[in-house]
Amino acid sequence: MRIDLISLFPEFVAQCAGFGVVGRARERGLLSVHGWNPRDYAGGNYRRVDDRPFGGGPGMVMMIDPLRDAIRAARAADPAPARVTYLSPQGRPLTQAIVRELAARPRLILLCGRYEGVDERLVEAEVDEELSIGDYVLSGGELAAAVVVDAVARLQDGALNDAGSAAQDSFEADGLLDCPHYTRPVEHELGTVPEVLLSGNHAEIARWRRRQSLLRTRRRRPDLLAAADLSPEERAWLAAQPEDGEGTRDR
């Protein structure tokens, strides 16, 4: 997959994509990340990319032409057509289902705004979809773009060392939260590893993990539970469990 970033700080996102699973995906040639800085396409002695908002008010708005020329340069760098995705709080909320859809495309062009935003005419003419990573305001779209890059990179074939690990993600599998994890030592002053995990009985372990996921999802994210892919047996089992089935900590 090829990802083009339109950003005043493209190296910021590229840096985020330099470590761990994403960095390895790039080393393995599964992913390339290219930055396009509107500043490089801005005219005049001052290379202006922003100007004051019509109608008044605080802050600045990103001008059309430097952004449009940067987007055109990114498009022209590869013959494959690409949609332009704008990261903004006004976008469609990002989900793992959308991540899967993005990860299957050959190319992404991610547009990162700064200041108070981008001239709406540029959005109308060039942007194909708007995505939000959550209901909060950042100082720019770059961190949101880095989130998208990370989430799609790990789904590229061969990015994860264990082929099953992406499929085992609870969101991937069925829209449930993940179960708890434990490693050595078995006995610790903070507690003991649940016995079932030491039993070697893989069917029992799978059932325990699944039930932990169900309890956790009900306690922490009942909204997800409503949409999750549960069997009638699982729904019945869960209904029979007390509501405080996941310990007493309030989280």
Residues that bind ligand 9WO (CB under 6 A): 87-89, 113, 116-117, 132-134, 137-138, 140-141, 144
Nearer to ligand 9WO, 87 or 127 (CB): 87
Min dist CB 94 to ligand 9WO, Å, is 8
With beta carbons less than 8 A apart as the criterion, state whether 73 and 41 touch. yes
CB-based closest residue to ligand 9WO? 113
Whole-angstrom distance, CA of residue 218 vs CA of residue 227:
11
Min dist CB 145 to ligand 9WO, Å, is 8
Coil, strand, or helix at residue 89? Answer: strand
Cα 237 to chain centroid distance, Å, stands at 32
Min dist CB 46 to ligand 9WO, Å, is 22
Whole-angstrom distance, CA of residue 224 vs CA of residue 171:
10
Min dist CB 156 to ligand 9WO, Å, is 22
- Known catalytic residues? 89, 116, 154, 169
Tokens 């802050």 map to which residue? Answer: 59
Nearer to ligand 9WO, 33 or 111 (CB): 111
Min dist CB 12 to ligand 9WO, Å, is 13
Q: Which two tokens stand for residue 224?
A: 């997800």
- Left (φ > 0), alpha (ψ -120 to 50) or beta: where does 102 sit? alpha
Q: String of b and e for 91-127 (b: at least 16 CB within 10 Å)?
A: beebeeebbeebbebebbbbbbbbbebbbeebbeebb
Nearer to ligand 9WO, 3 or 144 (CB): 144
Cα 206 to chain centroid distance, Å, stands at 27
Alpha helices in 17-106 (DSSP H): 20-27, 64-76, 96-103
Coil, strand, or helix at residue 95? Answer: coil
Nearer to ligand 9WO, 66 or 141 (CB): 141
Nearer to ligand 9WO, 43 or 134 (CB): 134
